[in-house]
Each structure stands twice: as C-alpha cells, then as structure tokens.
Amino acid sequence: MLDTRELGRRPGVQREVSLSVPAPADLGIEVLRVREGAPVEIDLRLEAVLEGVLVTGSAEAELSGECARCLEPISDAIEVRFQELFLYDDQALSEEDDEVSMLEDDLLDLEPLLRDAVVLALPFRPLCRDDCPGLCPECGARLADDPDHAHEAAIDPRWASLATLQQDPQQED
C-alpha cells in the first residue's frame, strides 16, 4: 500500500517514487512468471487530480518459466508500463462500478495494477527460442540437442492389432 496523503489532495501536486517490492504469489502465468519474493523494481509518478490520484509508472522483474514446446527452463526479464486513475473513496459515485480503481483512506494498492500489466505483457506460449523444434513425439528427446534424431519406422499399434486379427483362424470364415 502506498500512501498518497502527502499530495494533500491538491490537484497538480506530483511525487516521484521508486521502490523495490517482493513479488506477490502467482505474478504471471503458469508457464512464465515472476518468482514469488523476487524483487520487482517500480518507478512511479503520483499526480493528484481533482477526483483522485493518477498513477503512471513502470515495473521491471526477472521471469522464470519453461518453454511451451521442449520444457527447457527459460529465464527472461520483463518491463511493463501502466497508468491508472485511482479515485478517492469518499467521492460520491452515481453507481457502484467494479472497473474503477479506488483509494482506501488515500492509500493505494498497486498489486492489481501490476498483476494486470504483467499478465498482459507475457506471451501465451513462451519459447526457449523462436524456432524451438520441441520434443520427439516418439521418445521425448529434445530435438534442439539432436536435430538428426530418427527412429526406425515403428508399427502403429492399430495396425499391429489388425495383424493379430488376420492371424486369428476364426476370422477366416
């Protein structure tokens, strides 16, 4: 929680803040995320406006995850930018709106904003490299390590059972 009371609710007053916070749990997606507790470096500009505080900022963190094709570990970094208007919670709102970010007693909860920005910036299918060839469908070997990898043509199990049927004498009638 960030305290915005220093701005005194005076429109036009600004403050720059830099902070390093430990990453909350589940910051990212299943296959690519900021490890819980890893530092997230945040730079913010807080600006008082008439109805609340405008937050503009960026965040940087290390990512870890795994390749969607070959499951190799991936290390990467992410930098996201965000901007959001947080309304004072004693503003008379005509109707409740869940989409609006609110200050609570002039304290600002940055976590939902950070979480949305990080998730939006991540690829759905992270890869160790753009042309990752993935795994061998037969033995699971990592094809990037062994590009000439090949197998003897194996008998498809469905054909194998047909072959057994054909040898069954009862099928000959």
Which residues in 112-131 contact Zn ion (CB under 5 A)?
128
Piece in contact with Zn ion (CB under 5 A), picked from 71-79, 82-90, 98-106, 109-117: 71-79
Name the minimum Å distance from CB 127 to Zn ion: 6
108 burial type by CB count under 10 A (0-12 exposed, 13-18 middle, 19+ buried) = buried
Q: Which residue's structure tokens are 């060839």?
A: 133
By rule CB under 5 A, what count of residues binds Zn ion? 10
Name the minimum Å distance from CB 128 to Zn ion: 3
Name the minimum Å distance from CB 70 to Zn ion: 3
Select from 67, 78, 80, 122 the one that contacts Zn ion (CB under 5 A).
Answer: 67
Q: Which residue's structure tokens are 């500009």?
A: 45
SS3 call for 159: helix
Instruction: Please report which helix (H) or strand (E) contains residue 84, including its range.
Output: strand 73-87
Select from 31, 132, 135, 143 the one that contacts Zn ion (CB under 5 A).
Answer: 132
Select from 70, 108, 114, 117 the one that contacts Zn ion (CB under 5 A).
Answer: 70
Phi, psi of 115, deg, nearest 5: -60, -45
Phi, psi of 94, deg, nearest 5: -65, -35
Contact criterion met (CB below 8 Å) for 86 and 52: yes
Select from 100, 107, 141, 162 the one that contacts Zn ion (CB under 5 A).
Answer: 141
Cα diameter, the chain: 96
Name the minimum Å distance from CB 165 to Zn ion: 29
- Taking CB under 5 A as the rule, does residue 32 contact Zn ion? no
Contact criterion met (CB below 8 Å) for 34 and 63: yes
**Of 5 and 151, which CB lies nearer to Zn ion in the complex structure?**
151
**Of 56 and 64, which CB lies nearer to Zn ion in the complex structure?**
64
Residue 141 neighbours by CB distance under 10 Å:
13
**Positions that interact with Zn ion (CB under 5 A):** 67, 69-70, 72, 128, 132, 136, 138-139, 141
